């Protein structure tokens, strides 16, 4: 019987495409962006200086049309002719010949582009190379073979404009299938910026990746760039691995941040060790044997495996072929001995670092429950004192997004326009790019009218929190005359930003035009609650439209229409609309964004346990305390979030608490002198805040205001005398204190008796 060629079922190929591409949009975009990066690499490696000097060289544009559910990735690299498409695009699973031609690019399986195009709808590649145009359609009908349809296209100016290719370049586009949810612009920008497969490209200064999202509103633009978390170097890696007659040189570093990093899903993961091969292609993001270990949550780093690419290709071309890197591009195959061999080198490096983390202990949250409850009650009393002395803080400045994109100009105000009430202190935020403006850079804030006071008038850029690159600096505005229209400017080095402020002589309960109250909501499973959307009708007139965007996980229902018509204000200037929120699954999260013109507001919701909800809802102006370390000699300070930071680097604090969080927590639990010191620091910070805000808001003040520092100090001391004993009793163990007093009295009596003899 004659030999017969095996027929591959279209269903099998469909499963292959789905496994490799699937619903992970960051992975799909990463494949196309990496192809563009490889094309730029080939130009530079070939020595083509003519191509490398073009203005668009190095640009990669990611365009997302939400209405059409279509992605386009555009580069200005080599481009493809009709013959190039025939040669490169019709072979699936065949190794790229870049290495044979001497180019150091990423391609290993020869599948990436096809997986993207065939796993979704209407895939096309359009390209121009040296005046020749070509288009290739990728067609896959249910139950039929996948086919490509390349054609020659005549190049015209209209075509170049339509494709966005002024010289050479390529456009790869595909339409999301209906079962994949369209992402929000901000969420997609954050995930692409952080996605581990894109990090070497998005952090490369020779590449400029931009995401543009269009739809029902004006296009939204974001620059995609990865910035490694700030942290200290723990150890440098310089090892060799001999694996099946191949020597792998392992060089890199392991670092530690001051706060835990997200070590979870690979699309959002912040921590872990990034593994690269000799071509800077990403292999994996892992902590090997310490995956999921809470004591390794602060670790991140990078290790380059020189020789890995040669090993992978040799194993893949062996008989039978062996995949050390998963064909679905989800990292190294954990079941293969190569991964275990790498773990055998990295795990001993991580082990002492993890043990050191264990010895450092935790934060104030690791205190015994009885102590935490007493401290929580103390902060409830301090918050009540704040409300009695200053008044309700109102909607406040709203939540700060830890994944916010750095300002394009280095500085940006949270709002472009702001309306405030005369004589009332109004907070607002300035966003600072801590990469362009490193810590220590002076920033100047100025008003073009002396009737508008801005504080602080200058500040030094601090190190960003939680390993981020954006700092939220709270500024406070006070207008002393009505009908003001003032420009507030912020400047530092070559960066600047402007905020337009308008002052009116009537109460404004919503200083930013729009506000959610509360701005953060916690629900229990099965609970239904209401968010209040407050609208200042002086800024946004009644019957105006407010656009609402909702991003919610399964397990959280938010009853919000896409557009809200502002109802008339009921007696005053503030209109209110209620939005229902219901929790159904523990841990589910959601976010609402309201926008009307230049005004916007954000609210977040999360389904939590009853205990977590009760603790969260006791927050106010003051939200607790924690031990930390910082370079200045201040013993403590009150953060913008309302947390008292106790500095373990300060000499007196070291005498009371020790040098580590673990010893400090032990001291707070067992030693009266440490409890008194902690209570004193917390009272100093919180009472000064109360006195300062009471002075700025022009509430009834019991002391003359001719010398503000003295007046505020006297009010803080007065409140300390009135309330200090109640607060101290919640931090100090009264039984231990009485025992110490009895012990001291017994020692005095014994000494006196001895002297009498």
Q: What is the CATH number of the domain that holds 608?
A: 2.60.40.1080
Mean per-residue pLDDT over the chain, rounded: 80
- For residues 406 and 449, state if they share a domain: yes
- Distance between CA 223 and CA 405 in Å, rounded? 8
Would you say 470 and 432 are in contact if contact means Cβ atoms under 8 Å apart?
yes
- For residues 196 and 272, state if they share a domain: no
Report CA-CA distances (Å) from 263 to 71, 293, 357. 29, 9, 16
Average pLDDT over residues 332-339: 85
CA 718 to chain centre: 42
Position 4 in a domain:
no
pLDDT score for 647:
86
Position 1 in a domain:
no
Of 25-29, 178-182, 401-405, 553-557, minimum mean pLDDT range: 401-405
pLDDT score for 401:
56
pLDDT score for 402:
55
- For residues 574 and 698, state if they share a domain: no
Which of 499, 496, 495 is closest to 487 using CA atoms? 499
Position 745 in a domain:
no
- For residues 601 and 567, state if they share a domain: yes
- For residues 253 and 345, state if they share a domain: yes
Where is the domain boundary, 616, 635, 656? 616
Position 59 in a domain:
yes
Where is the domain boundary, 616, 650, 676? 616
- Using left for φ > 0, alpha for ψ between -120 and 50, and beta otherwise, residue 296 falls in alpha
Position 333 in a domain:
yes
Angle between helix axes 369-389 and 672-696 (nearest 10 degrees) is 20
- Distance between CA 211 and CA 405 in Å, rounded? 12
- For residues 398 and 374, state if they share a domain: no
pLDDT score for 102:
47
| Per-residue pLDDT band at 361 (split at 50, 70, 90) | very low
Enumerate residues 6+ apart whose C-beta is below 8 A from 596. Answer: 513, 514, 535, 540, 544, 545, 546, 547, 566
Would you say 522 and 505 are in contact if contact means Cβ atoms under 8 Å apart?
no
Would you say 324 and 333 are in contact if contact means Cβ atoms under 8 Å apart?
yes
Of 499-508, 631-640, 745-754, minimum mean pLDDT range: 745-754
Instruction: Burial-class residue 735 by CB neighbours within 10 Å (0-12, 13-18, 19+).
Output: exposed
Average pLDDT over residues 118-142: 85
Three-class SS of residue 442?
A: strand
Three-class SS of residue 427?
A: strand
Q: Choose between 48 and 253: higher pLDDT.
A: 253
pLDDT score for 103:
45
Is pLDDT of 733 > 60?
Answer: yes
Would you say 82 and 136 are in contact if contact means Cβ atoms under 8 Å apart?
no
Report CA-CA distances (Å) from 657 to 169, 294, 662, 671, 686. 62, 25, 9, 9, 20
| Parent domain of 476 | 394-499
Is pLDDT of 207 > 70?
Answer: yes
What's the CATH number where 469 sits? 2.60.40
Neighbours of 392 (CB within 10 A): 11
What's the CATH number where 265 sits? 3.30.230
Which of 103-107, 186-190, 249-253 has maximum average pLDDT? Answer: 249-253
Per-residue pLDDT tens over the stretch 101-117 = 544 445 544 456 777 77
Average pLDDT over residues 555-564: 85
Enumerate residues 6+ apart whose C-beta is below 8 A from 239. Answer: 249, 250, 345
Which of 375, 380, 109, 329 is closest to 197 using CA atoms? 329
Would you say 250 and 303 are in contact if contact means Cβ atoms under 8 Å apart?
yes
Position 747 in a domain:
no
Which of 75-79, 119-123, 358-362 has maximum average pLDDT? Answer: 75-79
Is pLDDT of 11 > 70?
Answer: no
- Distance between CA 722 and CA 389 in Å, rounded? 13
Is pLDDT of 303 > 90?
Answer: yes
- Distance between CA 431 and CA 73 in Å, rounded? 29
What's the CATH number where 48 sits? 3.30.565.10
Is pLDDT of 707 > 50?
Answer: yes
- For residues 42 and 181, state if they share a domain: yes
Is pLDDT of 267 > 80?
Answer: no
Position 218 in a domain:
yes
- Distance between CA 296 and CA 262 in Å, rounded? 11
Where is the domain boundary, 616, 651, 668? 616
Helix, strand, coil percentages in the chain from 3-state DSSP, rounded to 5: 30, 30, 40
Q: What is the CA radius of gyration of the chain?
A: 31
pLDDT score for 319:
67
pLDDT score for 26:
87
- For residues 266 and 321, state if they share a domain: yes
How many domains, in total, are found in the chain?
5
- For residues 349 and 492, state if they share a domain: no
- For residues 249 and 201, state if they share a domain: no
Per-residue pLDDT tens over the stretch 586-638 = 778 888 888 888 788 888 888 877 655 655 554 567 878 888 776 667 888 88
- What is the sign, positive or negative, of the torsion defined by CA atoms of 375, 380, 384, 386? positive
Position 190 in a domain:
yes
- For residues 661 and 598, state if they share a domain: no
Q: Choose between 675 and 519: higher pLDDT.
A: 675
- For residues 627 and 727, state if they share a domain: yes
pLDDT score for 396:
45
Helix residue ranges, H only, 504-609: none
Q: What does the chain come to in residues?
A: 757
Average pLDDT over residues 504-508: 58
């Amino acid at each position: 019987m004659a030999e017969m060629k095996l027929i591959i079922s279209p269903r099998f190929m469909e499963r292959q495409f789905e496994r490799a591409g699937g619903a992970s949009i960051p992975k799909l975009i990463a494949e196309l962006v990496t192809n563009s990066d490889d094309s730029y690499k080939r130009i530079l490696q070939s020595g083509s200086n003519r191509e490398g000097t073009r203005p668009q060289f190095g640009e990669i544009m990611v365009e997302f049309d939400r209405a059409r559910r279509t992605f386009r990735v555009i580069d200005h690299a080599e481009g493809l002719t009709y013959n190039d498409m025939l040669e490169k695009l019709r072979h699936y699973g065949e190794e790229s010949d870049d290495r044979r031609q001497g180019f150091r690019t990423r391609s290993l399986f020869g599948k990436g582009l096809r997986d993207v195009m065939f796993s979704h709808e209407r895939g096309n590649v359009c390209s121009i190379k040296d005046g020749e145009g070509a288009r290739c359609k990728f067609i896959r009908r249910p139950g039929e073979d996948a086919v490509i349809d390349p054609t020659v296209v005549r190049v015209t100016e209209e075509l170049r404009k339509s494709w966005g290719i002024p010289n050479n370049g390529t456009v790869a586009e595909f339409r999301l299938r209906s079962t994949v949810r369209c992402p929000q612009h901000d969420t997609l920008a954050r995930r692409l910026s952080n996605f581990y497969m894109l990090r070497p490209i998005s952090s490369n200064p020779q590449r400029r990746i931009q995401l543009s999202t269009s739809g029902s509103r004006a296009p939204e633009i974001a620059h995609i760039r990865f910035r490694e978390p700030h942290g200290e170097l723990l150890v440098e890696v310089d090892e060799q691995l001999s694996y099946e007659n191949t020597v792998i040189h392992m060089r890199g570093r392991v670092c530690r941040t001051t706060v835990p990093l997200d070590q979870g899903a690979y699309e959002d993961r912040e921590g872990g060790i990034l593994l690269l091969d000799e071509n800077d292609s990403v292999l994996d993001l892992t902590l090997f044997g310490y995956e999921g270990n809470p004591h390794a949550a602060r670790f991140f780093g990078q290790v380059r495996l020189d020789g890995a690419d040669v090993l992978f290709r040799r194993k893949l071309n062996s008989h039978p072929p062996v995949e050390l890197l998963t064909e679905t591009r989800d990292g190294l195959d954990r079941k293969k001995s190569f991964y275990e061999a790498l773990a055998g080198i990295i795990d001993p490096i991580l082990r002492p670092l993890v043990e050191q983390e264990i010895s450092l202990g935790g934060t104030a949250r690791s205190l015994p429950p009885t102590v935490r409850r007493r401290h929580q009650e103390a902060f409830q009393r301090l918050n009540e004192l704040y409300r009695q002395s200053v008044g309700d803080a109102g909607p406040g400045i709203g939540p700060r997004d830890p994944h916010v994109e750095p300002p394009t100009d280095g500085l940006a105000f949270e709002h472009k326009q702001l309306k405030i009430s005369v004589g009332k202190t109004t907070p607002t935020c300035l966003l600072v790019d801590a990469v362009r403006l490193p810590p220590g850079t002076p920033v100047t804030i100025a008003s073009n009218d002396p009737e508008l006071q801005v504080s602080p008038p200058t500040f030094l850029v601090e190190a960003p929190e939680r390993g981020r690159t954006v700092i939220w600096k709270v500024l406070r505005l006070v207008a002393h005359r009505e009908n003001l229209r003032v420009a507030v400017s912020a400047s530092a080095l070559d960066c600047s930003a402007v905020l337009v402020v308008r002052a009116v002589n009537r109460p404004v309960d919503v200083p930013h035009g729009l506000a959610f109250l509360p701005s953060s909501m916690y629900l229990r499973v099965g609970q239904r609650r209401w968010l209040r959307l407050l609208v200042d009708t002086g800024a946004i007139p009644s019957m105006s439209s407010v656009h609402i965007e909702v991003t919610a996980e399964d397990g959280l229902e938010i009853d919000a229409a896409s557009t809200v018509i502002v109802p008339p204000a009921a007696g005053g200037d503030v209109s209110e609309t209620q939005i229902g929120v219901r929790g159904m699954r523990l841990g589910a999260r959601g976010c609402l964004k309201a926008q009307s013109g230049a005004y916007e507001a954000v609210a977040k919701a999360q389904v939590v346990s009853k205990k977590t909800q009760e603790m969260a809802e006791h927050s106010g102006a003051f939200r607790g305390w924690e031990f930390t370390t910082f370079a200045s000699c201040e013993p403590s300070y009150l953060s913008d979030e309302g947390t008292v930071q106790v500095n373990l680097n300060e000499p007196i604090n070291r005498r009371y608490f020790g040098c580590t969080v673990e010893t400090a927590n032990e001291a707070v639990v067992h030693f009266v002198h440490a409890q008194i010191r902690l209570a004193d620091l917390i009272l100093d910070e919180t009472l000064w805040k109360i006195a300062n805000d009471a002075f700025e808001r022009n509430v009834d003040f019991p002391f003359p205001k001719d010398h503000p520092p003295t007046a505020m100090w006297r009010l803080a001391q007065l409140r300390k005398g009135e309330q200090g004993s109640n607060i101290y009793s919640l931090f100090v163990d009264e039984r231990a204190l009485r025992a110490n007093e009895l012990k001291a009295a017994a020692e005095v009596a014994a000494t006196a008796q001895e002297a009498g003899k």
